[in-house]
């Protein structure tokens, strides 16, 4: 009797997180039925496989038992202020884990897709292409760059792996605080008569929906599974939406004028004109989506406190667009994404 052929396994590490959740969901929806999609969680492992990646022996045994064809690594400590304070602890998640995954990828033969960040750049010369020189400004960026270097070692050309850098993310969640983008809604929702609140208007924010990233990840995984031109090396994916112009509405409130929409409300990738979004202009947009005044918010033109942040890390996504096509790499408009995500978290929005 011929030996049974095991179905290919795609393993999402960190499937309980903001991005991993969307990645696992999209993989399950999109990959053929014969493919097994498994996800791990740690403190939020309900419905997932519990796995503490800091336990090296157990992790290696787990990987060997799963025998995955593809591993998508969404585990990280991604809060820059926490990494600054708990450097060694964060290093285990952000760097040591990737060293183990690189070794196991070589030993077990799986394709590794590792998620990284635009914070590997210093934000002084945007837009950044994947080959541009990185220069992180904070410990989080340094650790993520160190993780990339593990995968781009001496034999990088030979490694079955890809690095996907993404900017600040938002997406379906149970809690505003899970993303620094949706967290902005908290200050929008305080009573307008309360004292003025300064909001960062210094750093460019290319807020990208996790389901858009998940669609890109799924396309990359699909190519690795089918052998249709497995992508290797470093890639960038980001929303390119910008051109928020603030003007006064009838009631004196600031209103954003979205100049980035093309015919049919579709985003025009790379369209020039206008400014990149900032936390402040995203807050004004959130105010519109929630039907709340934002007069109590004040733009702050100086860099924020805490771990140093780069000012503008706009990512050039043309290489990925060329590899996967415009349809796969298209991002939804920020207004639409925020409306849907805030509706899911708060149960109500007013703009339609
Ligand atoms: N969020 C952003 O704005 C952003 C921006 C740029 C790049 N990125 C990158 O995108 C990737 C995903 O980030 P994210 O925002 O989805 O992060 P996240 O929401 O904080 O999720 C982190 C994941 O890591 C898991 N994890 C933490 N400690 C673990 C441990 N000891 N053992 C096993 N798993 C552990 C968490 O599991 P539990 O929750 O179950 O404990 C969770 O699934 C990261 O590489 C990050 O650097 C994120």
Q: Which atom of ligand 1 is nearest to the CA of 48?
A: 40
What is the enclosing helix (H) or strand (E) of 223? helix 210-226
Instruction: Please work out whether the CB of residue 298 comes within 6 Å of at least one atom of ligand 1.
Output: no
pLDDT at 257 over 90: no
pLDDT at 249 over 60: no
Instruction: Please work out whether the CB of residue 56 comes within 6 Å of at least one atom of ligand 1.
Output: no
Taking the CA atoms of the chain, what radius of gyration do you get in angstroms? Answer: 21
pLDDT at 195 over 50: yes
The residue whose C-alpha atom lies closest to atom 34 belonging to ligand 1 is: 42
Q: Which residues contact 88 (CB under 8 A, 6 or more apart)?
A: none
Angle at 103 between CA 97 and CA 109, to 5 degrees: 120
Angle at 236 between CA 120 and CA 167, to 5 degrees: 60
**What is the value of pTM for the model shown?**
0.92
The residue whose C-alpha atom lies closest to atom 45 belonging to ligand 1 is: 115
Chain segment 180-190, per-residue pLDDT in tens: 999 999 999 98
Chain segment 117-151, per-residue pLDDT in tens: 999 999 999 999 999 999 999 999 999 999 999 99
Q: What is the pLDDT of residue 31?
A: 94
Q: Which residue has the tokens 């270097």?
A: 149
Asked if 205 and 276 count as a contact pair (C-beta separation under 8 A), the reply is yes
Residue 38 C-alpha to ligand 1 middle, in angstroms? 16
Q: Which residues contact 274 (CB under 8 A, 6 or more apart)?
A: 242, 243, 244, 245, 259, 260
| CATH C-level class of 9-169+207-236 | alpha beta
Every domain of the chain with CATH number 3.40.50.720 lies at 9-169+207-236
Q: Which two tokens stand for residue 290?
A: 């929630």
Q: How many CA atoms lie within 13 A of 324 on its CB side?
A: 27
Residue 115 C-alpha to ligand 1 middle, in angstroms? 10
Strand partners, 111: 70
Please tell me the chain's helix, strand, coil percentages from 3-state DSSP, rounded to the nearest 5: 40, 20, 45
Q: Which residues contact 28 (CB under 8 A, 6 or more apart)?
A: 37
């Amino acid at each position: 009797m011929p030996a049974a052929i095991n179905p290919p396994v795609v393993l999402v590490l960190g499937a309980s997180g903001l991005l991993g959740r969307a990645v696992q969901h999209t993989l399950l929806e999109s990959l053929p039925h014969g493919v097994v999609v498994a996800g791990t969680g740690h403190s939020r492992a309900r419905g997932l496989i519990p796995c503490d990646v800091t336990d090296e022996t157990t992790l290696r045994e787990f990987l060997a038992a799963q025998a995955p064809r593809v591993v998508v690594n969404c585990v990280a400590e991604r809060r820059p202020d926490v990494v600054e304070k708990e450097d060694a602890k964060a290093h285990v998640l952000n760097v040591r884990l990737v060293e183990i995954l690189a070794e196991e990828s070589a030993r077990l033969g799986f394709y590794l897709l590792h998620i990284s960040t635009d914070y590997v750049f210093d934000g002084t010369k945007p837009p950044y292409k994947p080959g541009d020189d990185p220069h992180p400004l904070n410990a989080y960026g340094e650790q993520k760059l160190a993780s990339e270097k593990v995968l781009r070692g001496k034999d990088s050309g030979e490694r079955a792996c890809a690095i996907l850098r993404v900017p600040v993310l938002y997406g379906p969640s149970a809690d505003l605080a899970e993303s620094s983008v949706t967290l902005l809604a908290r200050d929008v929702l305080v009573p307008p008569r309360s004292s003025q609140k300064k909001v960062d208007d210094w750093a460019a924010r290319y807020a990208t929906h996790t389901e858009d990233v998940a669609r890109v990840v799924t396309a990359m995984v699909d190519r690795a599974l089918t052998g249709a031109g497995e992508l290797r090396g470093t890639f960038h994916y980001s929303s390119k939406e910008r051109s928020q112009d603030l003007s006064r509405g009838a009631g004196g409130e600031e209103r954003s004028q979205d100049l980035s929409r093309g015919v049919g409300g579709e985003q025009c990738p790379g369209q020039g004109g206008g400014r990149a979004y900032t936390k402040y202009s995203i807050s004004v947009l959130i105010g519109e989506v929630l039907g709340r005044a934002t007069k109590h918010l004040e733009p702050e033109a100086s860099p924020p406190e805490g771990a140093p942040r780069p000012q503008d890390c706009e990512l050039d996504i043309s290489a990925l667009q060329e590899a996967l096509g415009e349809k796969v790499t298209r991002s939804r408009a920020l207004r639409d994404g925020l409306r849907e995500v805030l509706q899911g978290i708060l149960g109500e929005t007013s703009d339609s």
